[in-house]
Amino acid sequence: MQSKNQTGKFLTFEGIDGAGKSTHIAYVAEYLQEKLQKRGIKVICSREPGGTPLGETLRALLLQHKMHLETEALLMFAVRREHLAQLIQPALERGDWVISDRFTDATFAYQGGGRKLPLDKLNALEQWVHPDLQPDLTLLFDVPLEVARARLDATRDLDKFEQEKADFFAATRQEYLRRAAEFPQRFRIIDSTQSIADIRLQLDKLMDELLDSAQSAA
Ligand SMILES: Nc1ncnc2c1ncn2[C@@H]1O[C@H](COP(=O)(O)OP(=O)(O)OP(=O)(O)O)[C@@H](O)[C@H]1O
Ligand SMILES: Cc1cn([C@H]2C[C@H](O)[C@@H](COP(=O)(O)O)O2)c(=O)[nH]c1=O
């Protein structure tokens, strides 16, 4: 069994709405949990905005109500502060692994790219809320806008963000890709136009690499 003094791993899933990230989270969590169980490590799935009772209450407001752009960005970071304090940091300190469906890259992409909030304001909030924590691995599910839109239209009623126009999502996607290029050591881009089965094969490989690096660091 692995020493519990070890810090767990933090994985984040990102992409524009309809890219397919949520489809793969349960699969990755199960894959990792099966391998980590024998080392006494739990895999915890969460999401943003959300992840705590307060965060889920704020999520409902954020996804439905129109508000000032800065209010929206501040609330995203307020949700994140609570998520870090209540769930993410305690889990990582126990040595457990956390998978979050979106994290700070989403604020840069949506509020920074999509809504054009200056990035220096977001950098300042990031420095305030989590100066010393970055995901160990960020999977960016990338698809052309039309593919994402067709997937969303086929499945559900659209929330406030999902109702945005193509130019909003083009700018959001561009900011995601810009951040992936800026932080190549933690980002992996998944071509989400592939079949679900092919994406799973790619995810298996990525998770095996991560498990190997965690094991050799232990
Ligand atoms: N590779 C794929 N090929 C075909 N359909 C897919 C693929 N990935 C996901 N889908 C379908 O697209 C729809 C949207 O997927 P999903 O909910 O995972 O997207 P998402 O990126 O999590 O979106 P959101 O952020 O808005 O929740 C679902 O109906 C899902 O079954
Ligand atoms: C964390 C975060 C999220 N958003 C947006 C992105 C999505 O449209 C919704 C979350 O819904 P999901 O389908 O569960 O991914 O919120 C954002 O604009 N900024 C953020 O920081």
Predicted confidence band of residue 1 (pLDDT cuts 50, 70, 90): very low
Q: Mean pLDDT throughout 103-107? A: 98
Contact between residue 119 and residue 108 where contact means Cβ atoms under 8 Å apart: yes
CA of 49, closest atom in ligand 2: 1
* pLDDT average, residue stretch 135-159: 93
Closest CA to 213 of 4, 6, 1: 6
The answer to whether residues 8 and 92 touch, using CB atoms and an 8 Å cutoff, is yes
Give the list of residues 6+ apart from residue 143 with CB closer than 8 angstroms, or none: 15, 16, 18, 19, 20, 191, 192, 193
Query: Is 95 marked as a binding-site residue?
Result: no
Q: Is 80 exposed, middle or buried (0-12, 13-18, 19+ CB in 10 A)?
A: buried
Closest atom of ligand 1 to CA, residue 162 = 26
Query: Residue 2: pLDDT above 50?
Result: no
Q: Which residue has the tokens 């490989």?
A: 205
**Which residue's alpha carbon is nearest to atom 20 within ligand 2?**
107
* Helix, strand and coil in the chain, % to nearest 5: 60, 10, 30
pLDDT digits over 92-102, tens only? Answer: 999 999 999 99
DSSP string, 33-50: HHHHGGGT--EEEEESS-
pLDDT of 6 reads: 56
Can you tell me the mean pLDDT for 16-30?
96
The rounded distance, in Å, linking the Cα atoms of 148 and 212 is: 33
pLDDT digits (tens, 9 = 90+) for 166-191: 999 999 999 999 999 999 999 999 99
Report how far ligand 1's centroid is from the alpha carbon of 152 (Å).
7
